[in-house]
Chain A
Amino acid sequence: GQQVMQIPQYQHVQEGEDFTTYCNSSTTLSNIQWYKQRPGGHPVFLIQLVKSGEVKKQKRLTFQFGEAKKNSSLHITATQTTDVGTYFCAGSSNDYKLSFGAGTTVTVRA
Chain B
Amino acid sequence: EADIYQTPRYLVIGTGKKITLECSQTMGHDKMYWYQQDPGMELHLIHYSYGVNSTEKGDLSSESTVSRIRTEHFPLTLESARPSHTSQYLCASSRTTGYNEQFFGPGTRLTVL
B interface residues with partner A (beta carbon < 8 Å): 31, 33, 35, 40-45, 48, 50, 58-59, 90, 92, 94, 99-107
Contact = CB atoms under 8 A, between A and B. Distances in A.
Interface in A28-58: 31, 33, 41-45, 48
Contacts of A59: none
Contact of A44 (B35, B59, B94, B104): B104
B69 to A, nearest CB: 20
Interface of A: 1, 31, 33, 41-45, 48, 86, 88, 92, 96-103, 105
Contact of B59 (A1, A88, A92, A96): A1
A36 B100 CA distance: 16
Given A96-B94, A97-B48, A103 B42 contact: yes
Nearest to A100: B43
B103 A45 contact: yes
Contact of B104 (A31, A43, A99): A43
Contacts, number: 50
Enumerate the 6 nearest inter-chain pairs by beta-carbon distance, A residue then B residue, closest first: A45-B101, A42-B104, A102-B42, A100-B43, A43-B104, A100-B42
A1 B104 CA distance: 23
A99 B101 contact: no
A106 B11 CA distance: 28
A3 to B, nearest CB: 10
A42 B59 contact: no
Contacts of B43: 43, 88, 100
A43 to B, nearest CB: 5
Contact of B50 (A43, A45, A96, A101): A96
A96 B104 contact: no
7 contacts: A31-B100, A43-B104, A45-B102, A88-B42, A97-B58, A100-B44, A105-B40
A103 B106 CA distance: 18
A48 B99 contact: yes
A103 B42 CA distance: 6
Contact of B105 (A31, A42, A96): A42
Contacts of A102: 41-42
